[in-house]
């Protein structure tokens, strides 16, 4: 994937995916990115700033988030791990196969609501601990 193909995804595919999310929930959602270089290209950040002003998190956003912070990034330590395990359980042969596997894995992950809720609550505890120590190092809570 490149910055241009990621931009195309953001423009053409992403708006269709949260269709089953209630409108009230959508109004309070943020789009979070990790530190991948493709997420930080000028075109991508410009699109995000224009489309989701003050509603996206990542390098170059107005909402600052510590880069590569496993203590504060449930997407990295939890969700993406689950997704990758599901998608790459066996070798992916085609782009269509990859897309189908991602969609299927997302459906299966939605069934893990309890585990996702636990990860979210754990993240909130970590954020409070980080604030408590002024952004310094703190012992893992788990």
- At residue 43, the pLDDT reads 94
The number of distinct structural domains making up the chain is 2
- At residue 135, the pLDDT reads 66
128 and 82 assigned to the same domain? yes
pLDDT surpassing 80 at residue 112: yes
**pLDDT tens across 54-108, in order?**
788 777 777 666 555 555 666 666 777 888 888 999 999 999 999 999 999 988 8
* DSSP per-residue string spanning 9-33: IIIIIGGGGGGGS-HHHHTT--EE-
17 and 81 assigned to the same domain? no
33 and 75 assigned to the same domain? no
pTM, two decimals, is: 0.49
Computed over every residue of the chain, the mean pLDDT equals 79
Of residues 77, 74, 43, the one with CA closest to residue 60: 43
Q: Are strands 56-57 and 31-32 parallel, antiparallel or unpaired?
A: parallel
């Amino acid at each position: 994937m490149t910055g241009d193909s990621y931009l195309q995804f953001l423009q053409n595919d992403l708006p269709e995916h949260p269709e089953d999310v209630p409108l009230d929930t959508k109004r309070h959602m943020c789009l979070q990115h990790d530190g991948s270089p493709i997420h930080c290209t000028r075109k991508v950040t410009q699109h995000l700033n224009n489309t989701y002003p003050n509603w996206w998190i990542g390098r170059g956003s107005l909402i600052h988030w510590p880069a590569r912070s496993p203590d504060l990034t449930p997407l990295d330590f939890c969700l993406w791990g689950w997704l990758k395990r599901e998608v790459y359980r066996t070798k992916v042969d085609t782009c269509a196969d990859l897309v189908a596997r991602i969609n299927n894995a997302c459906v299966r992950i939605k069934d893990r609501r309890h585990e996702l809720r636990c990860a979210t609550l754990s993240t909130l505890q970590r954020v409070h601990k980080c604030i408590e120590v002024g952004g310094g190092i703190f012992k893992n809570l788990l």
